[in-house]
Amino acid sequence: MALFLLVIIIAVALGIIGAVAHGLLFLLVIGTVLLVADVAFFGTRLTRRGRAQR
């Protein structure tokens, strides 16, 4: 869970820097991709864990 939150914070920071700094749009893209990948990974772990307990 701590790793998930750390990656979320990094993705948001990269997104903010990429949006504010001129010419660093690639950081915004990297932050967005990282955020989506992290949420998808966490969602699949949560789904698998929920089914295994039933």
**End-to-end CA separation in angstroms for the chain:** 22
pLDDT at 54: 54
pLDDT at 29: 85
For residue 52 the two structure tokens come to 């295994």
pLDDT tens for residues 1-54? 788 888 888 888 888 888 888 778 888 888 888 888 888 988 888 777 655 555
pTM of the model: 0.66
For residues 16 and 4, give the distance between their C-alpha atoms in angstroms, rounded to a whole number.
Answer: 19
pLDDT at 46: 78
For residues 24 and 22, give the distance between their C-alpha atoms in angstroms, rounded to a whole number.
Answer: 6
pLDDT at 52: 56
For residues 38 and 51, give the distance between their C-alpha atoms in angstroms, rounded to a whole number.
Answer: 20
The domain ranges of the chain are: 2-53
| Helix, strand, coil percent values for the chain (each to nearest 5) | 90, 0, 10
pLDDT at 22: 78
